[in-house]
Every structure is written in C-alpha cells, then in structure tokens.
Chain A
Amino acid sequence: MKVLVCMSVVPDTTTKITFTENNTHFNKDGVQFIINPYDELAITRGLELAEANSGSVTVVHVGPAENEASIRKALSMGVTDAIRIDALAIDAQFVAEQIAEIAHGYDLILTGRESIDYNGGAVCGLLGALLNIPSANVVTEINYADGTFSFTRDIDGGREMLSCKGPVVASAQKDLCEPRIPNMRGIMAARTKPLQVLPPKDLINASQVSSYESPAPKSGVKLIDPSNAQELIHILRNELKVI
C-alpha cells in the first residue's frame, strides 16, 4: 500500500497571533512552528496502515526550506520519504494543485481535517476533485481489508460509515489515533532519509489575503455575586434576551 500524507507546518498552538507591515503579514518573530496537529494524526494512521500492509508512507509539504525541520520530524516518526514543493502556500487551492501534480500512484492520500492556521479544511476535497477520486472528510476511523478502505466520518449531528476502493483521499479528525512520538532510532534514521525538493507548477492565484485584523478586545468582565447566581439568568433572559 502506498500512502501519501499532505502536511502543513503551523504556528505552535500557544502563539499569540500578531501582524506586521500595517497588518498585511503574519508576524513570525519568535514563533515556533510545528507539524499541524491533525496532520500528525494522518501521518500516524498512515504509518499504521502501511506497516500492516507492507507499504510505504510519503509526506508532501508545500512550503519554504525553513520548514524542513518539521519534515525531518515526520521522517523520524517512521515516514519513508518526503517531497517538499518549494513555494509559499498561498491558499488551499494553490496547495492542492501543487500536490495533485505528484499525487498519482498512491492508494491512500491523507490530509488533516484542517490546517490550524488558515482553517480552510479544503485540501482533501480539492484533491479528490482534481484527481477525480472519492474524498472522505473528517474521518475518525480508517481501516483496510481485501482491497477496500472503510471510513467513519463526522457529519452534522452524527457520523457516517463509508467504503470504497483506492485511490481515495481522506482528512484526519481527532480520535483517529494517538500521534506517534519519534524515538531515538527514528530521529537518527530521519537524517539520511530522502527529501526531494521540487519546483512549483506555475499557477494563477485563486485568492490573496490583502490584510489581517485581530479580534476586538473584550470590554471587561461583569462579575456576578456567586450567592446570587440567578442574577445571571435574569440578565440573559431580560437584558440580553439570548435565552
């Protein structure tokens, strides 16, 4: 089984998000970057499936050379080899079109449910359409038997069981597995594993961020006396009229 995992590199979850150049650029100063948490799940489940079916896992990342530390981390988790497409990830459509160029010949393609920076949640469906293969969004289970993949995915207000033959693309949701932590042997081995750098395909942008904005700060909390908690219900009912 050949598995391809699409990986994004995102600011650490503790990052305070700020902007520079008149709110037109994300301020990377002092920010630590990590593998997108959902992609760690995709990598881990991809490895488990490949190991059980004498397969291999390739990670692909669209991003600059400075993200190679995160790619090496994926390799240290047990990934076989990596591809970096040397371009800044402009939006989900750009990323999906770049990955579609190299995504042929895999049985299973995995992404995260969304990238926690731009929250597009779109690469899975875009790749499905670009490659004309089925896509299963937000999956919490992936199994493989007798040439068929089966999935459980979150739907609005419930869940759904799906099945199909490969190739198929799915996006990883929490509960899929526990992320694998690299061990010493993995870290040593990762140093010499193949990491291929490819030039991007020329594309016309589908979108472009012109500026960013931070949420307006809250004006301050109004404290309610704990011995008179029903006051809260009174406010919600009669002043704010939200309940």
Chain B
Amino acid sequence: MSVIVFVEIDNQQYKKSSLEAICYGKKIAQTMGISCIALSLDTLSDTATLGTYGADRVISLSHNAAFTSDNSAQLLADACKQLSAQIVVVSNTYTGKSLAPRLAVALDASLATNVISLPDTNGGFKVKRGVFSGKAFAYTDLSKNTKVLAITPNTFDIDNSGSSATVETLVVSAEASKISIDKSDKEMGKVPLTEAEIVVSAGRGLKGPENWNLIEELADLMGAATACSKPVSDMGWRPHAEHVGQTGITIKPNLYVAIGISGAIQHLAGVSSSKTIVAINKDPEAPFFKAADYGIVGDAFEIIPQLIHALKN
C-alpha cells in the first residue's frame, strides 16, 4: 500500500506546489504507516532531492507516450496499480485537475478537488474542501477504498527533513492517445496565478489598460503575479486568465493587493481565502475595506508611485 504523489516539473524545476504535495503525502503516509512515493512523467537530474521533502521512493516512469490528458492519466493509473496506491495526491493546478478525474475513474477511487486539509482518518476519511468559490468550506467523507486528492497550492507547508529516497524507474504503458497537442505556448519562468504567493490585482479604478505599467512595475518589485476584476478582463484590458472571482479563478496567495477594485461579492468570493489582503481604493465606503486586513483610502495614481518608491529603497 502506498501514498502516490504526482510531481509536476516546470522550467526544469520541481514546482513548489509539487513539493507541498510531497510533504502532504508524507504526512498521510506516516499516519497510515505506509510509504510515500513521488511519481513524475519526466525526469530531472536531481531526482533524489524529492527524498529530502519526504518521499520514500522516487519513481520516474519509463514510457513512450505523448503527454495528453487521456494517456498521461493511463500511464499514472498503470503505475498506481503496480504500486498498490491507496491515496493519490496531485496539485489542484490545470494539469492536476485534468488528470485527477481520469485517474479516479481508472482506479475506481473517490475524488476530491480543492482539498485544503489533511484527511481526518478517525473512523473514515474526511477532507475539508473549498466550495462556493471561497464563500464556504465543506467537510467531505470519501468512501471508496482508493482516494484521489487534488490539493490547493499555497495551503500546506514545505518541510525539508533532509531524509533520502531510493530512485527507481518503472515501465508503464498506455493506449495511443486519441487527441494530439499541436502547439504549446508557455511563458517561461512566470508563476501561474493559482500558484502565486503574492498577487497584485487591479480593477476598473485604473481607468484604462495604458495604466497597467504601474501595476506591472509594482508586481515585479514585489515578486507578484498580476490579476484583475471581471469587467477589466471583459473589456479586454487584461487577458481572461487574470480574471479572479466567482466566475474567474479562485486564488489563495499569502498576500493579495487589490487596487481600484470595489470588492463586489463575486470578486471577494475568489480571493477571500488569501492570508493577508490589502485594499487600495479612493472610496472609503468601498466594500473591499470590510474584507481587507490593511487599507489605504486614496487615489491609486498617487499611492502606487509611493509604494514603488518605497520598494526600490
């Protein structure tokens, strides 16, 4: 029996969200007295470092398949079966979320996405999930023997325990994929919004797309990803991938800075789980101030330059 953690690689590095997943998997494995195995479809030269985060075994899959959602899931399912997986942990990223459902079917497992707690295994298997786009949480009992959990990035700590792992290769196979990837465009080295630790976000208060150089400069200086409110992406000021809120992306960074965003209930839904929230708005009655930890009542065009100046010093 084992806990299997699916590890993602980006830009020749293990993703931070995947290290969180290993630490998470290790804790479950310890509670259940079984081993924690890290699996990846790709191999890096420093595979062994995954052991320092808690993996007992690191296994790279040897296969000759393309990485489409259908056959990646088959490859992983094959590995999970060979390794008697009881729990499978993936990150709640686009990659993780496209694999998790297919894995759940292949393994006849219970599936939970948006997981934000370790399981409570006292007399069952209960996890806490984010629901209603951040407006609530649901404690969910998973009843099948095998479980697939997609855990929310930025939720669990990474501990480097310094332990070590065995490194192995496992031969797996999948049917030929029925779908082909014709082209992939990735902005290298850019942290996806869902995984960012700091997010600087702006709304209609910025007046127009030409003013986003201020937001980008501020974000760069803070090491932040950028986001926006719905009308801003509806008007095409910013790409849809930056739209956060109930009908956009739900995020959970350590720091969310909202500038010129009113704080409508649909917007707050997607960002209220952020650990620290800063609101900057010229309207003292803006609802965002009720949801924020820190606030500045003032004109964005006067405040942002001050912040940029302070960050440069």
Which residues from chain A sit less than 8 Å from chain B, CB to CB?
A: 11, 13-14, 16-17, 19, 37-38, 91-93, 96, 116-126, 128-130, 133-138, 140, 150, 154-165, 168, 173-175, 204-215, 218-219, 221-224, 226, 229-230, 232-236, 240, 242-243
Contact = CB atoms under 8 A, between A and B. Distances in A.
A140 B95 CA distance: 16
Given A125-B101, A213-B136, A242-B198, 7 more contacts: A13-B246, A92-B111, A96-B101, A119-B131, A130-B105, A213-B137, A215-B135
A212 B265 contact: no
A122 B113 contact: yes
B130 interface: yes
A-B pairs, 10 with minimum CB distance: A125-B101, A226-B298, A230-B310, A129-B105, A158-B186, A134-B179, A164-B179, A229-B306, A233-B310, A161-B183
B133 A126 contact: no
B144 interface: yes
B48 interface: no
A17 B136 contact: yes
B254 interface: yes
Contact of A119 (B130, B186, B240): B130
Interface in B247-295: 247-248, 250, 254-255, 265-266, 269, 272-273, 275-279, 289-295
Interface residues of B, number: 99
B70 A116 contact: no
A206 B298 contact: no
A210 B272 contact: no
A162 B181 contact: yes
A78 to B, nearest CB: 22
A243 B137 contact: no
Interface of B: 8, 10, 68-70, 73, 93-95, 97-102, 104-106, 109-114, 126, 128, 130-144, 177-187, 190-192, 194-195, 197-198, 222-223, 233, 240-241, 243, 246-248, 250, 254-255, 265-266, 269, 272-273, 275-279, 289-299, 302-303, 306-307, 309-311
Max chain A Cβ within 10 angstroms of own Cβ: one of B131, B182, B289: B131
Contacts of A208: 140-141, 143
B310 A211 contact: no
Given A140-B240, A230-B310, A236-B255, A218 B292 contact: yes
Nearest to B112: A207
A214 B272 CA distance: 11
Given A17-B132, A120-B113, A155-B186, A174 B247 contact: yes
Given A140-B240, A150-B182, A209 B140 contact: yes
